[in-house]
Structure formats: C-alpha cells, structure tokens
C-alpha cells in the first residue's frame, strides 16, 4: 500500500511557520580591547568582555592582578589607554549613565563626620531617591538601622564597610560593581549579603563582584579569572573545574595561570 504525500493533497498548501527565537538581551557590561597602562605596567592588557544582564559575575584574582583597575575603567572613573568600555549599551565615561550604576570601592566611600543616616541620605539624594522606607530597608540589610545618628568615624571598620555597601545600593542600580565587598564583614553577615546579591540578580540586576577569596566563587553564576591584566578563563564554577581537571577552583586558577604563562613564553 502506498502512503499519500500530504504535500500533494488538493487542499491549500500549509504555510510554514518560522520559529521565532527569544530575543537576546544585549550585554549589560562590555569591554573591547580595553587597556590601561601605567608607564611600563599593563594593568589591564587588552581585555574583551560581553556580560549578559541578570547574573552575578565573580572577578577573581590575586592582589595586583588588575581587578580594581578594570572596574574603574568599566565605571568610567579611569580613562583607558585604548579600547572601549560600555555599560547598558552606553560608552563610558558617561555622567548620565552613572545614575544606573552602583559602585562600592575597596576604600570606604563615606564621609566620616556625617552620621550613618546623613551619609545614606546624601548618596540617595544624588540619585533622586527620597523614599525613607527604602532607605531604612537598606540599612536593615546591613544591620545599621539602629545606628542612624552614629557618626561614621565612630563605627568599627566592618560597620563602615556595611555603610559603604548601603550607599552603593540605595538607588537600586541596574548594574552593580562591588570591589572586595565582604572584606572585614563577619561570616553571618557575609551570608546575608550574598543572599541579597542573589535577590538583586533575580530582579534583573547585573553584579560584578571582585574578590581574591576563592571560597566565594561558588556563590557566583559565572567567574572570570584574572591575572596580570588578562582574563585567564571564564565560565561557571563547574565549567572551570572541569576544564581545569580538578575539584578545587584555586588549583584550576593556578593551572590556567601556568598555561597562560607557557603560551606567552612560547610566543616570544
């Protein structure tokens, strides 16, 4: 028995429906051949990045590897020797775009003579944030809501670190750069911070968190290993372990470092 060919039926030919793939969101953070030289030192050495939004990216590497310089270039707070940085599609530096960016520096970016509340209200006002309930909420996150009138200079080092974070997050930025945010923070509060980071990411924010502490790496969606101004490897913690042939991320980092050094040596 011969089966009939559906395409030869006398009825009207079916119009094929083109499958529509979901639109791809443009990168929240981009770098193209980004470079920053300090004399003979290549602090950032031709880095290319394209980071989709709504994820937590860990920028991991030893002290002096270029993490802070890269963040300052991406935020427009340092001028590149060459290359381009873009945040939310806008070339940096851009004064207007800073309203959509949060940046917590390694050093505490607060005014010591002002109280906790005065510091937070000042930074909130810069971004047009006037909702007192929102501001109190961010102080509760960092457990400073009962220290509103305490001058920042009378806070402990860990408390000043927490206030710096509150000031960086108070305007609900779409892209957040956190440079060593958990240094000096006790373990219990560090867990709370990371829980909040994941809530921000779930709400669509993009976070780039720098650290030299490898045990924070598994809290990130994706990692960028950086050393000597180069991105050695990029991927999820699981992917980097697999590529490094080890269950230990620190061992994987050292392996990628050795491979990069060998490649640079052979290219000479």
pLDDT tens, position by position, 191-239: 888 999 999 999 999 999 998 877 789 999 999 999 999 999 999 999 9
Instruction: Evaluate whether 29 touches 208 at the Cβ level (below 8 Å).
Output: yes
Q: Which class for 145: exposed (0-12), middle (13-18), buried (19 or more C-beta within 10 A)?
A: middle
Model confidence at 5: pLDDT above 70: no
Reference 66, options 177, 239, 210; nearest CA is 210
Beta-strand runs (E) in the chain? 29-38, 41-51, 56-60, 82-87, 90-91, 101-104, 175-179, 206-211, 222-227, 230-235
- Tell me the pLDDT tens digit for each residue of 78-135: 999 999 999 999 999 999 999 999 999 988 889 999 999 999 999 999 988 999 999 9
* pTM, two decimal places: 0.86
Which residues, at least 6 apart from 84, have a Cβ–Cβ distance to it below 8 Å? 30, 31, 32, 33, 34, 91
Give the C-alpha separation, 102 to 99, whole Å: 8
Q: Using omega within 30 degrees of 0 as the cis cutoff, is the peptide bond preceding 93 cis? A: yes
Q: Output the six-digit token pair for 51.
A: 């980071």
Q: Minimum mean pLDDT among 14-23, 120-129, 150-159, 224-233: which range?
A: 14-23
The structural domains of the chain, ordered by start, are 28-108+174-267 (3.40.50.300)
């Amino acid at each position: 028995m011969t089966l009939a060919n559906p395409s030869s039926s006398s009825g009207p030919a079916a119009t094929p429906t083109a499958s529509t793939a979901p639109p791809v969101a443009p990168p929240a953070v981009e770098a193209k051949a980004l470079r920053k030289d300090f004399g003979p030192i290549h602090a950032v050495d031709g880095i290319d990045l394209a980071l989709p939004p709504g994820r937590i990216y860990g920028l991991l590497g030893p002290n002096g590897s270029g993490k802070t310089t890269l963040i300052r270039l991406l935020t427009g707070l340092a001028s590149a020797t060459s290359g381009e940085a873009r945040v939310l599609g806008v070339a940096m530096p851009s004064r207007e775009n800073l309203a959509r960016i949060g940046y917590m520096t390694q050093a505490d970016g607060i005014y010591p003579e002002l109280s906790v509340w005065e510091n937070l209200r000042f930074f909130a006002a810069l971004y047009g944030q006037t909702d007192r309930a929102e501001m109190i909420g961010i102080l509760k996150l960092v457990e400073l809501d009962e220290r509103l009138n305490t001058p920042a200079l009378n806070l402990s080092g860990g408390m000043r670190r927490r206030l710096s974070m509150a000031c960086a997050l108070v305007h609900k930025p779409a892209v957040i750069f956190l440079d060593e945010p958990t240094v000096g923070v006790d373990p219990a509060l560090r867990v709370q911070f990371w829980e909040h980071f994941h809530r921000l990411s779930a709400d669509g924010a993009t976070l780039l968190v720098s650290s030299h502490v490898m045990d924070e790496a598994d809290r990130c969606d994706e990692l960028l290993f950086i050393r000597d101004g180069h991105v050695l490897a990029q991927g999820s913690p699981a992917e980097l372990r697999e590529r490094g042939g080890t269950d230990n991320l620190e061992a994987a980092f050292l392996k990628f470092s050795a491979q990069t050094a060998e490649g640079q040596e052979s290219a000479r």
